[in-house]
Amino acid sequence: MVHSTITKLYDTFAEARLVVTDLEAAGIPHSHVSIVANNAEDHEIDKNAKVARDAGIGATAGGILAGGAGLLAGLGIMAIPGVGPVVAAGWLASTLAGAATGVAAGAATGGVIGVLTESGVDHDEAHIYAEGIRRGGALVSVRTDDKWVGLAREIMNRRPAVDPALRGQAYRASGWSAFDATTPPYTPAQIEQDRAQFRN
């Protein structure tokens, strides 16, 4: 069975959450879907995720796996160096949590780029996606088979996603070259200021 991965960056958690809801409503199994979103703005997550939220930063894979209620009910909180707190669920979140368990914090950062590139995302785009999450964005990734790939792509294209080539160009124009885990996470004010540049 051939698996394809479709990955899109959205500027807000709210947009990405709607995409995930649409994917699941269309029948795409939540085990095929992942979301990783910056949580500097302290998003209100599903009440079923209260235990994971109360666990605080550093939740492990057990706290971020989706249950039978759908992917968003399994949202948990973890920390990524250079990004800060994120809300995450799905296969991508589980892999990132596994990469961070029992190893130096920096390894989780390698995990962001590494997990994305291993799933077929171009290396440069992986850096743009990681930086996009750092700046307040949310990544939705669907790893699925031929049965669902066309539908997943169509649903993910319904809402305005970030064009990685254009966003990378904009980042580079301000002096950025690659995602750097040693930089401090963005504050909510910085996120809003950065996001305002890209609003239509």
Tell me what pLDDT residue 83 has: 86
E strand intervals along the chain: 3-10, 33-38, 76-80, 84-89, 138-145
Give 71's pLDDT tier (boundaries 50, 70, 90).
Answer: confident
Radius of gyration of the chain (CA): 15
- 29/32 Cα distance (integer angstroms): 6
Residues 6+ apart with CB under 8 A from 17: 35, 37, 72, 138
Over residues 81-103, the mean pLDDT reads 76
Residue-range domain boundaries for the chain: 3-196
Tell me what pLDDT residue 46 has: 53
- 130/180 Cα distance (integer angstroms): 9
pLDDT at 109 over 70: no
pTM for the model stands at 0.83
Over residues 81-86, the mean pLDDT reads 86
Beta bridge partners of 10: 138
Percent of the chain with pLDDT over 70: 78
pLDDT at 49 over 50: no
Residues 6+ apart with CB under 8 A from 165: none
How do residues 168-192 score in pLDDT, each as one tens digit? 999 999 999 999 988 899 999 999 9
Tell me what pLDDT residue 3 has: 78
Give 62's pLDDT tier (boundaries 50, 70, 90).
Answer: very low
Tell me what pLDDT residue 79 has: 84
Sign of dihedral through CA atoms 133, 36, 120, 155? negative
Bigger pLDDT: 101 or 27?
Answer: 27
3-state secondary structure of 1: coil
pLDDT at 154 over 90: yes
Over residues 22-38, the mean pLDDT reads 93
Tell me what pLDDT residue 111 has: 65
